Amino acid sequence: MPSELHVSAVHHGDMRISVTAREHVLSMDYPISSGSDITPLEALLASLAACSGNSLALLLRKSKQPLDGVEVKLHGHRRDEHPTIITDIELEFVVHGMDVEPAAVERAIKVAEEHICPVWCMLKGGTSITSSYTIVA
């Protein structure tokens, strides 16, 4: 049986909104120039960065790689016309660890994209997503 996720949002005037998931509250605003909160599209990109980074770290640890950490640098390109969707995303993984095998990283990225990270799986159907990696000892 599928799980249900519950989120609620409260509008606070202008384009400010707070979103609550369980006991966590995230404040958002739009456009970027109107406030200091992140935009909904930035929150979406943050979800992809977090999900893909966690997936990669999990898979590398499972494959017994000497992992010290994973960073994700993400660049999303948004079109100017409405709807101002994200047209393409570049994921850059920085894998920290001595003697981490490049082949293991490549396998882990492929598995994360195709099977483990639900955000990546959902977005790639309508958005071009490319990935790259570097290993830092």
- CB neighbour class for 82 (10 Å; exposed up to 12, middle 13-18, buried from 19): exposed
CA 2 to chain centroid: 22
Note whether 21 and 34 are same-domain residues: yes
What is the 3-class SS of 28-45, one letter each residue?
ECCCHHHCCCECHHHHHH
Note whether 78 and 131 are same-domain residues: yes
3-class secondary structure, 72: strand
- Report the domain count for the chain: 2
pLDDT at 34: 63
Note whether 114 and 54 are same-domain residues: yes
Bridge partners, residue 115, by sequence: none
Q: Rounded mean pLDDT of 2-26?
A: 94
Give the predicted TM-score (pTM) of the model: 0.93
CATH of the domain at 70: 3.30.300.20
Note whether 66 and 123 are same-domain residues: yes
Note whether 34 and 45 are same-domain residues: no
- Residue span of the structural domain in which 10 resides: 1-38
Q: What are the pLDDT digits (tens) for 42-78?
A: 999 999 999 999 999 999 999 999 999 999 999 999 9
User: What tokens appear for 67 in the block?
Assistant: 């992992």
Note whether 32 and 49 are same-domain residues: no
